[in-house]
Structure 1
């Protein structure tokens, strides 16, 4: 847009939010996102209410990582997807829909009526390797940031930390 006209997204101060494919319960997987070339999120422990797992699967290679919130490796993620990664994929399919998750992860799902199990089966059939747990801290930090917004009182006033959203002013 070299003529000085601003595009629609440049004139807007909002970002389009994609509604969930289906409503989901947040108790087991409170945070799931398709970001940074991975499906990643936070999964609650089934045995300890104070523990969560930060799990991820890389798009294309399906390299996976799972560790606790204090960066201890998951006991079930040795050479195969653990139950936390299975739960993460399942909730991602509920949140985003199977087509979007499969497309993002670069999974070829050939089932007539595909579901989360088909996405998991397609990835594990390639025998993915364990990936780097380095991103876990960033994912967990983003999760905690999202939780902090839940503690705020309802308001229409701007939030200073959200200053990075696009504005209507042209940058010189």
Structure 2
């Protein structure tokens, strides 16, 4: 068993390229979707929860209080486009394409080629139900940013089993 398998921490994969968090503060490949939180371009107090399902490319985009996005009619809105762009910066185009099961054609995959390959899909009401859990995870990540730096344990992480000491 390797040191990584014995540790109680997850390996952190560095971003493929640095990205700016102001437009898309949260992006993840989880639950069979590319999903995340995208800031509104017109209202500083509004964010959108956007997602694209792997394989079917069904998409959903709504505000944090479950109002549908006005731009997601018949195709990807600007929020989903920004989410795809930032996911490529975070994870790399090949990893995003592999996760979403997108064939971007010949040549190197880019955010634009992924978006073009997935175009023509329809919104999915089932995917819009995931918005609450995505937004909740985003808020949990924000809470960690407010904590003072410490090397001590965090109470919510106490579910890890204690390590044995060898005498």
Instruction: Please report the TM-score for the alignment, with normalisation by the length of structure 2.
Output: 0.91
Aligned residue in 2 for 1:35: 30
Aligned residue in 1 for 2:50: 55
| Equivalent in 20, 25, 41 of residue 25 of structure 1 | 20
| Equivalent in 150, 153, 158 of residue 153 of structure 2 | 158
Q: Give me the whole-angstrom Cα distance separating, in 1, the residues matched to 2:83 and 2:15.
A: 15
| Equivalent in 2, 10, 18 of residue 15 of structure 1 | 10
Unaligned runs of 5+ in 1: 1-5
Aligned residue in 2 for 1:129: 122
Q: How does 1:142-153 map to 2 (within 5 A)?
A: 142-153=137-148
Residues 97, 109 of structure 2: 8 Å contact kept = no
Q: Give me the whole-angstrom Cα distance separating, in 2, the residues matched to 1:117 and 1:149.
A: 33
Q: Deviations over 1:107-143 (max 9, x none)?
A: 001242321000000011xx21211210000000000
Q: How does 1:73-112 map to 2 (within 5 A)?
A: 73-112=68-107
How well do the aligned residues superpose, as a CA RMSD in angstroms?
1.5
Q: Give me the whole-angstrom Cα distance separating, in 1, the residues matched to 2:30 and 2:160.
A: 18
Unaligned runs of 5+ in 2: none
Alignment: residue pair count: 162
Q: Give me the whole-angstrom Cα distance separating, in 2, the residues matched to 1:65 and 1:52.
A: 14
Relative to structure 1, the CA distance from residue 167 to residue 7 in structure 2 (aligned partners, 3 Å threshold; closer, same or farther) is farther
Q: Secondary structure at the match of 1:144?
A: helix
Q: Give me the whole-angstrom Cα distance separating, in 1, the residues matched to 2:33 and 2:3.
A: 29
Q: Give me the whole-angstrom Cα distance separating, in 2, the residues matched to 1:146 and 1:42.
A: 12
Q: Give me the whole-angstrom Cα distance separating, in 1, the residues matched to 2:99 and 2:19.
A: 20
Shift of 1:158: 0.7
Q: Give me the whole-angstrom Cα distance separating, in 2, the residues matched to 1:165 and 1:28.
A: 34
